[in-house]
Amino acid sequence: MTDPATPPFVLLVVAKAPVPGLAKTRLCPPATPPQAAEIAAAALLDTLDAVCAVPGAMPVVAMTGDLGAAARTAEISMALRRVTAIPQRGWDFGARLANAHADAAAVHAGLPSLQIGMDTPQVTPASLAAAAAPIRHGGRDSVLGPAADGGWWALGLAEPRHAQVLAGVPMSRDDTGVRTWRALTSCGLRPGKAALLSDVDTMADARAVAAACPDGRFARAVAAVGRRAAA
């Protein structure tokens, strides 16, 4: 029986295999490519721990990249056993996001969805549940979680079909958040706002986020860069 206090929803994580030389390259220097990949892997693992602990969540991970060449391959492969893993598809990032929503909805039909990435390892089960609450309980048709760099870290949709608007939004820009908000309102939605978070693009970002979640894998991976530099 479904608990009315925690109605089910899809919690979609869009992720990239943390392959050295391809993952988090803006952390280099001071990080080396293997260290940057370790940081990305740690971020993904901490995110999956939080996602899998959210009451009522149906975790889906849309993956791209060569997991066999990634940092922490075995640990990530084990973590993915706890979720439904699907491949990303599409010609650019906006299309891959839209398709990930559609493919997740095909697995869990009729449920609202909250989509995040792997760049906000400071998320907790409580913060994810709070971000999803407006679309789970009928208060909003959509939710956008702004990121400090002008993008966004979370998108909630009461009806995942509306994610198709993402295919026309340029991603990874300092106005991506504004453009996404406009795309949502242009198709008749009335989005609410989730909490503002910093995502991880630079080493300064990584250190700030690590300070917010000092007990996880991510903080330990970031601290390892400082130890190497000191040595």
Q: Which position has the higher pLDDT, 99 or 172?
A: 99
Cβ neighbour number for residue 68 with a 10 Å cutoff:
9
Average pLDDT, the chain: 93
Query: Residue 2 is encoded by which pair of tokens?
Result: 């479904």
Q: Is the pLDDT of residue 4 over 70?
A: no
DSSP string, 132-158: HHHHHTTS-SEEEEEBTTSSEEEEEES
Summarize pLDDT for 45-80 with one digit per residue, the tens: 999 999 999 999 999 999 999 999 999 999 999 999
Percent of all residues in the chain with a pLDDT value above 90, rounded to a whole number: 88
**3-state class of 204 per DSSP?**
helix
For residues 123-150, average pLDDT: 94
Give residue 3's pLDDT: 60
Show the CA angle centred on residue 8, arms to residues 195 and 137, nearest 5°.
Answer: 55
List of residues 6+ apart from 121 with CB closer than 8 A? 42, 43, 44, 46, 47, 200, 209, 213, 216, 217, 218
Residue 2: is its pLDDT beyond 80?
A: no
Q: Is the pLDDT of residue 139 over 90?
A: no
pTM of the model: 0.93
Contacts of 4 (CB under 8 A, 6+ apart): none
Q: Is the pLDDT of residue 229 over 50?
A: no
CATH label, 9-224, candidates 3.90.550.10, 3.30.365.10, 3.40.50.300, 3.40.50.10260: 3.90.550.10
Domain edges within the chain: 9-224
Q: Give tens-digit pLDDT for 9-51.
A: 999 999 999 999 999 999 999 999 999 999 999 999 999 999 9
What percent of the chain shows pLDDT beyond 70? 96
Average pLDDT over residues 84-112: 94
